[in-house]
Chain A
Amino acid sequence: MKLPSLRDVATEARLLLIGIPVLLWTMIPIYHMFLFAISPKEDAFSGKLWPDHPTLHNFEIVFKQQHYFLRDFYVQFWNSLVIAAAVGVLTLVIATAAAFSISRLRVPGGRIVMNLALFTYFIPAAFLAVPMYRTMGNYGLLNNHWSLILAMVTIASPYAIWVLKQASDKLPVELDEAAVMDGATTLQIFRLVYLPLMMPSLVAIGTYAVLLAWNEYLYAFLLLSNDREITLPVALGNFLAADDSPWELLMTTGFIYALPPAAIYYAFRRYMVGGLTAGAVKS
């Protein structure tokens, strides 16, 4: 075995000198949340770095809805789930159709629509939220899940269309021509040629839209207010309303709420990185 040279050791030490602070910086807020989730109430407020008696009791309280702030936990979890799924499906349908139309069918005016969509993508979300709130009121959709679903589809679609258009521009034109030659209709090309080839990008975009909707706080808290209509993040925000709110339960619920997106992210990481950064890197 060859001993590492002094220079290698020095390089490694320098890298560790960067790596360790990065690890601490990244993990401290998440560890702090986890710590609260497994601490009994008395330990939670004593400032210990590890509880004397770690427990899952907080999770039990949440899952049995045994606290005033948690009495609609399952309904709110379900709301988050349904809204995220609906946004994922609707975004995929709308964006795939639009990207196919712009990129493959070369619909007249497609380029302008693409530019308008991109322009929308760059409207800061919190700015659009103000008129969006009033608009939903005018449409009579406030406090209705559709308001949040449609708002999130509006926000997710531009990027979705752009990524899908980039991906479908790369498919060779000969594919469509050959299919037309064989007598395929436009719909058949869409279903049998286009969709299968686009699968990786569709997975990436579906994941993107679902995560965007699941994580959304601002629009959810503006558009939904009834306790049984709100999503989990809004419920978490409502903990702040009271001075004596049970922080350990808030952190436990937050931990449960953060698990699905983290799991989805890691499960689809390959698609996410490949599908979503490709466009940004293009210079």
Chain B
Amino acid sequence: MAITLSGDQSIPAPPLSSRLTPTQIWGIVLLAPYLLVFLAFVVYPVCYGLWLARAPSNYVALYNDPIFARAAVNTLIFLVIGINIKMLIALFLSGFFAQQRTWIKWLSVVFILPWAVPSIPTILSVRFMFNPEWGMVNHLIFNLTGDDGPNWLNDPTVALTMAIGVHIWKSLPFWTLILMTGRLAIAQDLFEAAEVDGASWWQKFRYITWPSLQMLYITCTLLSMIWTLGDFNSVYLLTGGGPADLTHVLSTLGIRYLRLDQLSLAMASIVCAIPFVLPLMYFMMKRLSR
């Protein structure tokens, strides 16, 4: 709140006491609804949350909670491995979908479906597909080999990998689409000239595509990391944090503490992530506000 007010006044204009033009009054009136929402539902909750997390004992409790350490590691795996794999696939597929073919146009319409439909029913569909007793996958394994399939979601490593898979399934179309738009913005005559010079596809990618795409690619990767920190559904709906609370990530862990009525622990676990998230958020804000 203080930031907003001082911001309003730091403009090199006469102080509020002197007359505002009608335009400025309208400007303030029209901006007011958002400012109210911002103060009531962003500033107040954030300050209140930070205040709740102030006691050092919370951090001692977190430190002693093995679930927290596991969740932090899982979150890192999710972000560093999961997101990079996703973005590399998106980069590759964006080249595929940039091909001018009718059937690829149609495929791209289908490809966007995971992004267009809500995540609950599709994630639950995957969850049931891998159910050890009645699921489709183990039925097929049994029919093909005569053996019982593995108990997929009961192994924390497999379960976390599948949660990453579900996340990739859901958000890959979006990033592919964005990178494809970036690719299509590259001047085509560059490729034609390279073709004439006999450049290989790798040389075309290395010297034409990548230089024009790299800034977009890095921005997308960082943005995806920030958003994935807030991805609650992929883990919660697939594994529920289990087995034995071994597949939690920070977003599901915060909600778990909340449901256990340990609000200050929930806030403290989020505060622990702030040093890592804040620079990313600041960088993204600077990039988009130009």
Contacts and interface: CB of A to CB of B under 8 A. Distances in A.
Given A26-B114, A30-B117, 18 more contacts: A30-B113, A33-B121, A47-B135, A98-B30, A113-B31, A113-B38, A117-B34, A125-B227, A127-B254, A154-B41, A157-B34, A162-B288, A217-B237, A218-B233, A247-B134, A262-B113, A273-B181, A280-B219
B124 interface: yes
Interface string B160-176: 00000000010001000
A124 B24 contact: no
Contact of A258 (B110, B122, B142): B122
Interface in A29-49: 29-30, 32-33, 36, 45-47
B61 interface: no
Interface of A: 15, 18-19, 22-23, 25-30, 32-33, 36, 45-47, 93-95, 97-98, 100-102, 105-120, 122-135, 138-139, 150-151, 153-154, 157, 161-162, 186-187, 190, 214-215, 217-218, 222, 233, 236-237, 239-240, 247, 250-251, 253-255, 257-258, 261-262, 265-266, 269, 273, 277, 279-281, 283
A31 to B, nearest CB: 9
The interface residues of chain B, by DSSP majority, are classed as helix
B130 to A, nearest CB: 10
A106 B31 CA distance: 11
Contacts, number: 299
Given A119-B285, A162-B288, A214-B118, A26 B113 contact: yes
A115 B289 contact: yes
Max chain A CB contacts within 10 Å: which of B109, B128, B220? B128
B251 interface: yes
Interface string B198-236: 000000000000000001100110010011011111001
B7 A94 contact: no
B31 A273 contact: no
B284 interface: yes
A15 B233 contact: no
A19 B41 contact: no
A278 to B, nearest CB: 8
Contact of B178 (A29, A113, A280): A280
Nearest to B259: A222
Interface residues of B, number: 105
Contact of A217 (B52, B107, B119, B266): B119
Interface in B1-44: 3-4, 7-11, 13, 22-24, 26-28, 30-31, 33-35, 37-38, 40-42, 44
Given A102-B31, A157-B37, A281 B185 contact: yes
A96 to B, nearest CB: 9
B273 interface: yes
14 contacts: A15-B101, A25-B169, A32-B125, A109-B8, A123-B42, A130-B258, A134-B52, A150-B40, A161-B34, A217-B233, A233-B118, A250-B124, A254-B125, A283-B215
B34 A126 contact: no
Given A18-B96, A29-B125, A151-B41, A134 B48 contact: yes
B24 A105 contact: yes
A108 B7 CA distance: 8
Interface of B: 3-4, 7-11, 13, 22-24, 26-28, 30-31, 33-35, 37-38, 40-42, 44-46, 48-49, 52, 93, 96, 99, 101, 103-104, 107, 109-122, 124-126, 128-129, 134-136, 138-140, 142-143, 169, 173, 177-178, 181-182, 185, 215-216, 219-220, 223, 226-227, 229-233, 236-237, 240, 250-252, 254-255, 258, 263, 266-267, 270, 273, 277, 280-282, 284-285, 288-289
Contact of B121 (A23, A129, A153, A254): A254
Nearest to A25: B169
B228 to A, nearest CB: 8
Contacts of A138: 48
A19 B101 CA distance: 12
A15 B68 CA distance: 44
B174 to A, nearest CB: 9
A94 B34 contact: yes
B116 A123 contact: no
